[in-house]
Amino acid sequence: MDNHSVLNNILSCLSDNGYTILTLLSDVLSRQYTLEDQRVQLVREEVECDALGICAHLLSHIPTAAPVTTWALQITQSALDSSELDSEPEEEDMPPRKRARKDVLSRNTAIQVIKCVVCISIVLQSANENCNHLQSIFRIFIHSANVPQRVAEVLAHAGLTISIKSIHRAVKSMSIDSAHKIKTGLCSLKMAVAYDNFDINFKTLEPTLAHQSSFVSAMSATAVPLIGVDNIDALCCSEALWRVDPRNPSLSVLHTGIDDFDLLRFHLTDTYDHQPPGMEFSLRCKAFAWHVCEILINHGQYFGYLSNKLVTPETVLRIPVSKTEQVPMRSMKIKQSSVDGNIEVMENLLHQGGLGDPTELDFESNGDVDILDFVLWVHGNLLTKERLNTVQDSQCIEDTPKNCFQFVIFVLGLFHYKMACVDALWRTYLQVKEGCEDVNSTYQHVGILQPQETGLMMTKPGFCWMHDVVHHKLCAVILECWCKELS
C-alpha cells in the first residue's frame, strides 16, 4: 500500500471520530502531559523528530496540502507573537529609537520566515522524481527570455532549474503537442485563421561590419474556433460562391454589381429600421434616441442629475458570450508586405493545419483534409485584405480551386471596420478641398472645436485622432440642435 492510500485511511478514521489531521497534531504538540502519560510523550517526541518528513508527506497529498500550509503559517505567526510578548517587559526600559529599530527587525524577520515557509511549501508540493514543476516553469521562463547559456547552466547546476537538455526535450515535446492541436483543429474545418506581422530587432553587444544588429520581420498566426458552426456542410460553398464571383474567368451568371437600388431594397427589407407592431419607434430610432440622451446627460449642463437613471441601451440581435480557446500557430519568417509573401503565408497555414489539394504531391492521404469544396475564414488588417484581394485577382486563371484561392473568405474585425469607416469619412469630408469652404462643412466645425489641429486634418491623420473628432463633433452638433430646438 502506498503512502497516499495510508494517508487516506488515516484521514477517514480521524473523520469518523470527529478529528482532523491538524487538530490531532496541534493536540499532541500543545497539550501538557503528566509523567505517567509515557505513551503520549513518546508519540510527541517521534512527531517532533520526524516533523520534516511528516510535513513533506502531508504537503505532497492533495487533500492535506492546503490545510498544512495554513497551519504552518499559523504556528509561525503564533511563535513570533509569543516572542514579542516575552520581550515586552524588557522593551519598556528601551529608548524609543532602539525600540522602533527592534520592531522593524522583528517584522522583517517575520516576513522572511513566512516567505521561507511559502517557498518550502511550493517546493514540497512540486516534489516529483520525474519532473519538478517549479524548476520546469523557471527554466521555460529563462528559455523564453533568451537568457545567456552560461547563466542558465549556473542556475541548472545550483538546482534551481532543470538542465539545458531537459528544456530542449520539453520544448520539442510541447511543439509536437501544439502541432497536433493545430492540425486537429483546422482539419475539423470549424476554425478560422488570423495572422499579422511582428518585428524583432536582435541587438548585439558590440556591433561590427560582419555582425550587426539584425532586424527580422516575421508573421504570427492563430486559429480561432467558429462558435455556432456545428455542421461543416454550411461551409461547403466554395464552388457556389466561385460561380458568381466576378473574378471567375468563366462566369456563368452575369454579375451586375451592387448599385444604389440594391442598397435601397436592402433597407426596405431590413427589420432593424422597421417599426415593430405595438412599438412607438423602430429599433434603430430607439438606439439613436439612447445616444442622444447619453450626450445630453453626460456632456450637457442641464441634465447631469439624471445620470443615475440612464440605463444601458436595449440589445438587438445579441450574440451570446462564449469562451474562445485559440490555438497559436507557428511563427513564419515571411514578409507580409508583398503579394508573394501573403501567398507563402496562406500555403504555410494550410500545411500546418493539414489542409490541401488531394492532387498535390505533399498531400498526405492518411491525415490531411481536402479543402477544395470548403471555405476558410481569414482575419487580418486592411493591408492583409488588400494583399489577399490582389492574390485572388492574379490567381483567378489557375486550374485548381486551391491555386485560385477561391476558398479564402476575408472577414474584417470590428476595429479594422471602424478604421475603414473613419477613412471613408476623411476622404469624403476632409480630403476634398472644395468641401472645406462651406461654413457648415466638417472642416469648419473641426476648426472651431480644435483650432490648433486644422493642419493635421488635411494630411490624413491617424485613427485615434479621427475617432475623437467624430465623437467631439457629434456631441457638439446634438447639443447645438437641442439649444436651437428650445429657443
pLDDT band at residue 193 using 50, 70 and 90 as cut-offs: very high
DSSP string, 75-134: HHHHHHHHHHHHTHHHHTTS-HHHHHHHHHHHHHHHHHHHHHHHHHHHHHHT--SS--HH
Q: Are 99 and 90 in contact (CB under 8 A)?
A: no
Higher pLDDT, 210 or 175: 175
Is the pLDDT reported for residue 10 higher than 80? Answer: no
Q: What is the pTM of this model?
A: 0.63
CB of 398 within 8 A of CB of 407? Answer: no
Long-range contacts from 5-14, C-beta under 8 angstroms, 24+ separation? 7/57, 7/58, 7/61, 7/63, 7/64, 8/63, 11/63, 11/64
- The residue with cell 435601397 is 264
Single out the residue of 186, 172, 170, 173 nearest to residue 222, CA to CA. Answer: 186
Lowest mean pLDDT among 68-82, 125-139, 184-198, 313-327: 68-82
Long-range contacts of 338-344 (CB under 8 A, 24+ apart): 338/387, 339/387, 339/390, 339/391, 339/394, 341/387, 342/384, 342/387, 342/388, 342/391, 343/391, 343/395
The rounded distance, in Å, linking the Cα atoms of 13 and 67 is 18
Q: Which of 8-17, 299-308, 385-394 has the lowest mean pLDDT?
A: 8-17
CA distances from 6 to 11, 15, 102, 132 (A): 9, 14, 46, 24
CA distance 129 to 419: 55
pLDDT at 274 over 80: no
- Mean pLDDT, to the nearest integer, of 424-447? 80
pLDDT of residue 376: 92
Are 393 and 405 in contact, with CB atoms under 8 Å apart?
no
| pLDDT above 80 (res 334) | yes
Does residue 460 contact residue 277 with C-beta atoms inside 8 Å? no
pLDDT above 80: residue 330: yes
**Cell 503520549 identifies what position?**
40
Per-residue confidence (pLDDT) for residue 388, from 0 to 100: 92
DSSP 331: P
Phi and psi for 447 in degrees, rounded to 5? Answer: -65, -30
Worst-scoring range by mean pLDDT, 4-8, 131-135, 232-236?
4-8
Number of Cβ atoms within 10 Å of the Cβ of 211: 10
Give the Å distances, CA to CA, from 170 to 32, 78, 162, 167, 252.
53, 43, 10, 5, 55
Say which residue, 432 or 290, is predicted with more confidence: 290
Q: What's the whole-number mean pLDDT along residues 135-152? A: 84
Q: Say which amino acid occupies 353.
A: G
- In this prediction, residues 391-419 reach a mean pLDDT of 88
Ramachandran bin of 404, using left for φ above 0, alpha for ψ from -120 to 50, beta for the remaining angles:
alpha
Instruction: Specify the pLDDT at position 344.
Output: 92
Return the domain boundaries, the chain. 3-88+98-125, 133-182, 416-486
Instruction: Please give the pLDDT value at position 35.
Output: 54
Higher pLDDT, 40 or 322: 322
CA-derived radius of gyration, the chain:
35
Distance CA 278, CA 415 (A): 36
Residue type, 85: L
**Average pLDDT, whole number, for the chain?**
79
Of 245-249, 273-277, 404-408, 435-439, the poorest mean pLDDT is in 273-277
Burial class (CB in 10 A: 0-12, 13-18, 19+), 114: middle
More confident residue, 432 or 57: 432
- CA–CA separation, 61 vs 10, rounded Å? 12
Identify the band that residue 378 occupies on the pLDDT scale cut at 50, 70 and 90: very high
Reduced to 3 states (helix: H, G, I; strand: E, B; else coil), residue 41 is helix
